[in-house]
Every structure is written in C-alpha cells, then in structure tokens.
Amino acid sequence: MSTTVAPSRPTPLAPAAENDVAGHRVPSAGQWMSTTGGRIAPSGEAWLEAVFWFYKYGPYASSGSHGPKKFGTTTWRMAKAIAHLTECRPSVGNLVQWLKLSERTVKYHLAMLRESGLLTYRSKGTRVSGTGGRASEFERTIPQVFDDAAGIRTGPSDTLIRSVRGFSQDTIPLLKELHAAARPPRRKKRTKGTNRRSVKGTSGTPPCTPIVVGTSSSSTAGDLHSPSENKLASGQHKSPAPKKPTRRKLNTTGRRYQLAAELIQQVGWLHRAAVPRIAWIVRHVADAGWSAAEVIALVGLQAPARRVHRPSGFLASRLKGAHLLYDTPAKRAAIVDHWRDSRPAEHDRHADWWQDDLRRPASRAVARELEAAFAQLQQAAAPEPEERELAVGDDGLVALEQLTRDEVIEMRAAALKDPDLVRVTLTTCGETYARRLYTSALVDRVQRIARLGRTIVHTWRPA
C-alpha cells in the first residue's frame, strides 16, 4: 500500500456525482431477491458502512407524502439494531419495544431502508386469518450506487451475488470514515479492585516522583532479581498435550429423539409430525439400535399408501413388532438391500418432490400465485438453438466438468435467488452432486431453511 498520508477528513462527492445519485430510490418491483440490483452484505458491519454513507451523504429522498424524507438518527439507530440479527426478520413489534418508538415511525424507516436498496425481501409478512401474522424476512443488501461512490470494484460471486474485488485509492479516506462509524465501540478493560481503590485515592495533581518508582529501598513486589542460568528453560521441554474434546454420548431418550428427527427430515409425509410423538413411536426400534435407513426400508416393504392422513398412526402400524422380527443387524441389512433394489424405491427417487409435500395455502391469493408458478414450471420450454448437448454418465447425471466457470457462477447465482433449484437438485441428483454444483454453504443454508417449515412464494414474471 502507498505510504502517502491520507487527508484528515474525506472529501465529499463531486457535484457531478451528487447529481447522479440524487433522488436514488428503488421501486417496489426491485425490492425482492429475484429482482434486486444490489449485492448481499457479507456481514452486519459491512452493511452498516453503506447505511452510514446514506445517512451522512443523503442520496436517498423519500417519495411519500408523510413521514421523514431522508435518513436521520432514528434510521441509524434502527439499522444498528437490524445489523445484529442472526436471521433478518425485524418484527415491527420488537423494534418498537427495543427502540422505544411508535409503530408508525418504525414502518416509515423500514420503508426508507427498502426504497434505498439496503433491505431486500426474501418473504413478505402475512396476515392470514386463523394462522397468525408472520414477520417479513429480509436480506441485508448493498446497492450499486454505494459501490460506485465508494470506488469499490465487484465481480460475480456464488454466495453474495457480487463480491468485492478491489477499491480505488482515492476513496481510502471515505472508506476509513465509514469503517470507523460501523465498527462497534470497544469495551474498556476492567481493572482489579486494588487499582480502582488506588485511582480513587489519588488527587488530580501529578505526584513528585513517578508511580512505578518508590522512594524506599524495599519494593512491595518482592525480590525481582534475575534467576540463575541453570534454572532457565532449555527450550526442549514439551508442553502437555491438549485435552481432546469429548463428545457427549446420547442416552436412551436422546437416541429416540435423534432417530425421530432424522425420519421427519427424510420422509416426506412426516414433515409436519411432532418430534416427541415420533420419538415415542420409534422407541422400541431406537433402543434396538435401528438406523433411519432401516426404518424407511421396513416401512417401504409393504404396499405404499396413496395418502397418509395420520402420519404417526401410519408409522406405528408399520413398526408394530418389527424389533422382535428383525432382531439382528444382518436381517436389517437384508431388508435395506431389498428395499434399495425395489421398484417403489426407484419411483420415490425419481418422483417430483413438490407434488405430495405441499399443502394448499390458506390464502386464496397465495394459492392462485402458487398454481400459476407450478403451471409455468410444468410447461416444456423449447430448447434454444445455441444450447449445446452435454454427455450423460452411467448414473444418468451430467458430468460437472463439462460446464464452464461462467455457467457454474450463473447457476449458483440463480440458486441463491431461488432456493427451489437446490431442493430439486438434492431430490433428483443427490446431496453429493448438489454440494459440488452449488457449494456446501448454500446447500446447508437451504436445508436449514427447509427445517423451519416455511414456504416462500415469489411472483414470477417472464422477462
């Protein structure tokens, strides 16, 4: 880095640049993850830097007839509270309680953060009668206007839409100011009690002699003479081996709950079942050491049901007396091998995952949007003439080595905006193939969202 001393205060934007960003507003159609032009903030601190730039240099102006027109102290306080959320779902009620503001004020400033491109919808809150309201889920994003003003160069990224690749030397003072404003204040180290008492007892005038030097011949620190050389360490002494972390061994109840959670995650018709109830049903097979694959194989041995009305009762009837009949690991391994080679298992591996798992939403408007989205997905699109044919291996999957780097980046960016692509790949191609294509971080994120049991529907419009 250059050793040139930076000026003490950053130079404001040139008049031409101010005119370019003046009145910056993102329309409502561009406030969704599928249509946003910004990039995902890698951390809350990086997001606060962009918020502080909007707060101080003010390129945003609200279009509403009521409420604040530009960013203010209240907007900055709210942004600092949102930046510390692990999952960005800032409920209006929680913000009212935390910041001691009115509900209308909180809604005004949330709208300002959305219109400036700093908050982007992942899912919009609902007020469906009978199911209760749900808070909107946002993603902290950084708009392109901030990157241009701060001299930040970005490039494609598989997790953040765009990532920082460099910055201009001319904007270093501005970046330093933004970083200092977004950095959390450091906590003062607590001093010992003796030091606190000594500080309180001293007066404001400096002593005649330094504090570290005493006037008496004896020292309160004891004998401070250097040890002899034969007592010094040779440098060959080995430090004691660090203790290895010991994993907590599950007891009988923990093993039952673990098996129940695995079944609920892997079996489609058990997704809405309660873990404690399933744990009680599988208590006998869990105590006998059964795995989730063995339970699934046993349930699939008999003729599959067309519709499961009571998942817990259906599972209990299939597992009745199974721990007595298949009492050895060899017998259970045999049924697993038989199940994997059976035709029902082959059908389950190739069946569309969304045909049986989704239930009709309570809202009629959401149901219409869902039906329209599925109708568009089912329409067979004609292959474009410039598409090239890719070779398929013996396992029926396309070898990822045939894809170019730009194609992989484009597919990962599309999966970041639409998690359903990752879910379909997991179901049809397997977890190993999906992790190679979309990275383990993105697959883990989609699986974590799927375990929460939320269904996010976005309106899709052709370009």
State yes or no: pLDDT of 124 exceeds 60.
yes
Contact between 432 and 424 under an 8 Å Cβ cutoff? The reply is: no
Span 95-113, average pLDDT: 92
Residue of 289 and 360 predicted with greater confidence: 289
Give pLDDT, residue 242: 61
**Rg (Cα) of the chain, in Å, rounded?**
31
Q: Where are the chain's structural domains?
A: 15-182, 252-350, 360-378+394-451
State yes or no: pLDDT of 333 exceeds 80.
yes
CA–CA dist 258, 119 (Å, integer)? 37
The structure's pTM equals 0.42
Choose from 246-250, 354-358, 430-434 the range with maximum mean pLDDT: 430-434
pLDDT category of residue 130 using cuts at 50, 70 and 90 = low
Contact between 70 and 87 under an 8 Å Cβ cutoff? The reply is: no
Contact between 318 and 294 under an 8 Å Cβ cutoff? The reply is: no
The CA-to-CA distance between both ends of the chain, in Å, stands at: 44
Least confident range from 2-11, 28-37, 124-133, 180-189: namely: 2-11
State yes or no: pLDDT of 300 exceeds 90.
no
State yes or no: pLDDT of 81 exceeds 60.
yes
Query: 10 Å Cβ neighbour count for 415?
Result: 23
- Percent of the chain past pLDDT 90, that is, above it, reads 17
139-194 pLDDT, tens digit per residue, is 999 999 999 999 999 988 888 888 898 989 898 999 999 989 888 777 766 665 54
190-244 pLDDT, tens digit per residue, is 665 545 544 444 444 444 434 444 444 444 444 445 555 555 455 555 555 666 6
CA–CA dist 351, 373 (Å, integer)? 19
Contact between 400 and 392 under an 8 Å Cβ cutoff? The reply is: no
- The H or E element spanning position 122 is strand 119-123
pLDDT category of residue 312 using cuts at 50, 70 and 90 = confident
pLDDT category of residue 119 using cuts at 50, 70 and 90 = very high
Give pLDDT, residue 378: 63
374-393 pLDDT, tens digit per residue, is 777 666 444 454 555 666 66
Give pLDDT, residue 5: 40
pLDDT category of residue 431 using cuts at 50, 70 and 90 = confident
**What six digits make up the tokens of 393?**
């291996």
How much is the mean pLDDT over the chain? 75
State yes or no: pLDDT of 8 exceeds 90.
no
Span 432-441, average pLDDT: 85
CA–CA dist 15, 94 (Å, integer)? 40
Span 100-111, average pLDDT: 92
CA–CA dist 76, 209 (Å, integer)? 48
CA–CA dist 97, 110 (Å, integer)? 15
Residue of 351 and 443 predicted with greater confidence: 443
Residue that is written with structure tokens 């191609």 in the block: 429
Choose from 286-290, 342-346, 419-423 the range with maximum mean pLDDT: 286-290
35-56 pLDDT, tens digit per residue, is 898 999 999 899 999 999 999 8
Give pLDDT, residue 351: 46
Give pLDDT, residue 102: 93
Span 325-351, average pLDDT: 73
State yes or no: pLDDT of 78 exceeds 90.
yes
**What six digits make up the tokens of 324?**
């007595």
CA–CA dist 47, 82 (Å, integer)? 10
Please return the burial class of 382, using the count of CB atoms within 10 Å of its CB with bins 0-12, 13-18 and 19+. exposed
Dihedral class, residue 172 (left if φ above 0, else alpha if ψ from -120 to 50, else beta): alpha
